[in-house]
Structure 1
C-alpha cells in the first residue's frame, strides 16, 4: 500500500473516534489507530489538531516517508483491521422455520432473492 493511501485509510479508520460518533468496535479501532498515529508526533514534540485533518494527513505522510518502522507498524495495524472488518459473521436465531437463508461472502453485481 502506498504511503498516501496508508495515511488516508488510517485517518479514515480513526474518524469515528475523532468525531465522537463511533460506537463499540469502530470506536475502539479508531481510538487505537489514533493513539498509534499520535505516538511519533509526541516523540517529535508536535501537537495534533484533530479538527484540521488535512494538516494532520500531510504531516503523517511526511512521518511515514521518514520512519520505515512506523510505516510498517501502521501498515500492519491497518491490514489487520481491514481483515477483521472483512470477516463479519451473522448468526440468525429464530423459533420458527426459515425457508431460505443465504450467506454471501462477497458480492459483485446485483443479487435477487
Structure 2
C-alpha cells in the first residue's frame, strides 16, 4: 500500500474508535490505529484538538498524516504493518448476526475468489 492510500485507509479504520460507531474488534483495531496515528500530531496540539481535526476535517487530517508518513519512514512502516495486520484480522473474523428468528434462505461466505462465481 502506498502512502497516498495508507493515510485515508488508516483514518477510516480509526473511525470505529473515534466516533464510537462499533464495538468489539472493529473498535479495538480503530483504537490501536488511532493511538499510533495521533502521535506526530500531539507535538502541535492536545489529543482532543487532534481528534476534533480527524473527525471534522478528514481531508486536512489525511493530508497532514500523509506529510508525517513521508517525513518519517519508520512511522510509515509501523502504520503500514498495523493497517495490513488489522485488515487481515478483520477479514478472518467474518461474523453474521441473525436476529428476530429471521429465516435464512441462503448464506454464502466467500473469501478470495478467482474466476467466475454464480448462484
Q: What TM-score, normalized by structure 2, do the two folds share?
A: 0.73
SS in 2 for 1:21: coil
Q: After superposition, where does 1:1-113 map in structure 2 within 5 Å?
A: 1-42=1-42, 44-46=43-45, 47-48=49-50, 49-50=53-54, 51-88=56-93, 104-107=110-113, 110-112=117-119
- For the pair shown, the structure with the greater C-alpha radius of gyration is 1
Aligned to 2:101: none
- Report how many aligned residue pairs link the two structures: 102
Q: What TM-score, normalized by structure 1, do the two folds share?
A: 0.77
Structure 1 segments unaligned to the other structure (5+ residues): 91-100
User: Cα gap change, 1:104/1:6 in structure 2, threshold over 3 Å: closer, same or farther?
Assistant: same
Moved over 6 A (4+): none
